[in-house]
Structure 1
């Protein structure tokens, strides 16, 4: 709790609350200012109308009666409407009323102005007044005080204090509560991150409205409805951690796989060289032939090693995503046609038939060279694992508005339990261990598909006899 309190005031939620408080205060003050302005304008307009009416009535009085009217005004309820009045002669000397000094700033034009006067029965006051000539060459001055405006100003200020202070206090308390709630969730996330940094790669960030418990690995799928941005962020980070854990697991096995796959050809190279070196003395011609055969075998084995290393480097380059910059519009149907033309001799040599299913152009955005490599690996893989007399079909078309490349064979197939495993590096199923290869072809296909955000779908095809066949579908995004 001691650590939460100072941190609470530096959170984004609290700063956002302070900003909201400033906006609330500004809007409230502006609202009350508009109310005061409109009320003041209305009161001034009402006072001016009353003054005009009273001035017209008093100015209409005959000259002998006006002085008597002024006397009566001082003792009647008219004082409620007119707070200051005076009758002056032509020399501006007072005749009647409570104004004994002519207001110098008030011209005799019948217009209403705001002036400061000193009535004999009141202190210095600011009033709305007008001066107009009356019968007998005299001048009448009447005015109405602005006491009502002062009362309105006081009421508005009191209402502003009554509304604004509780609202700001409530907003600050809400900000403190929201900040503490956010800090509790952030602390849970920090604890999960600390466990992950200490090596617990199976840990996941807590996802849930109240922080929840850390999710297990592989369970960071996006919920049907995320409650807030913190939950969406935690879900995205958990998906990233799932992918990182998967990649780390693959990296852990790569060293063993490389050592296993390179050890056999390198051991054959060394054994062949040893046999050649220890071979008994023979004729010169036989020695040359033996040495040449040993060199040829060593070159083949070393080529296999280089092929494995090249394939690994190629997969690493593709998975880095640097090839996305070379994406352009390509025709998947034309790529399939080129691959079929290239591999027809290979299929004939294996006793199989390679068929391209006709169709229209299939355009998509991608790297042409990589897509050729993807199709070539799928076709080569299908020919390699299809016994003589089989058929390999290649189709480029559309599925639900998405481009799809489909390779169908009548070969030995892949068990359902192994269909995802074959996309990993160096994986060789029991049925294919007698067939040459490094186990990286489908890994390369999977890397190219991921680069193009494509999905690989595998299923058993229309096989022949005890051969279930296989269908590989690479479905590209719309």
Structure 2
């Protein structure tokens, strides 16, 4: 229901139904005013006028003359049927054509049922009656039949309820159907977009051939995606060729530098220069390799080799690998994970991601601090996290540290090339996972969260 209410087509249909109901209400309100309110006001004025005239006649001519006038009034056939009742001060009924009335008069005008019978059939009447006591204690009731007006009012009220009810029902039904139909077409666009976002550039929007707005939009998007795919493939070919062409010269350069280092003999200055050149060339080769791997991971061209993995064993291997470095830096390396903890992961990629996180944590944590490597599993996800007690990270840097070659303002003195977290983000993307950096007060906590569909049930 919440998703339905968020649908634009459903909301627009409800707005249209609401405007239609408002229009119907205005029309029926106008009809009610013309067919009920105006005639009822006219009848009220007439009854009040007659009641004043007959009251004056009673005071001037007495009960007998008033009773005769009431009987003559009842015999007239012009206009709506007239009703009356004259009750003497002692309670005796002098004259009447009303079947009944209340024990005591009410202020103003009132409606009284005045049904009659003719040839065994009941004739419905509603009398609008003015009911007052006279100065001598007599009681005078003067009325007119308003059955047509009250029947009209009841018909209009019933019609309004049904029309508005059916309109609301049709509005909800048509809104649901329109939302369903439009939602399916939009979902086709969404699926194609997500397929492309996941690295599959062959994703296209399904076109039904109806030549409607959605088909034209789908055709335009498909043309755009085809153009993007061709451009991206051209860039891939250029980058792959460039990487291939750079690897060979780099390998030759490193080989010749190593030969030069061996040939330096007793020349320490030449040996040092050659050694430094070899280090920089190897660093350049590593950067090139990392860039290519990040690109392949981000573009979905690096197939995952998922295997059933003992996560705790993976973390134990990492701790064992980095324990000497942590001891050298005076940092306490802690493992927080409990078996059984099993997941289907690309072991090499996850090992590299956690290695990069641990390497960063050890570089940024000061001596005497601690670094914690943890893993926990909930119903829908597996979380692998690295936490340190270092200086943490600025909020401005947190949103950019996964960019290639970006280094925070406080990282100038720390060795690195700015590709570690970029690699972690690419590995997270390949696993359909999320990467979150959060303050640990003090320090930084980096969590890799893998969704349920990537987990193994063991």
Which band: TM-score by shorter chain? Answer: 0.3 to 0.5
The structure, 1 or 2, with the larger RCO (C-alpha pairs under 8 Å, 6+ apart) is 2
TM-score where L is the length of structure 2? 0.46
Q: Which has the larger radius of gyration?
A: 1
TM-score where L is the length of structure 1? 0.45
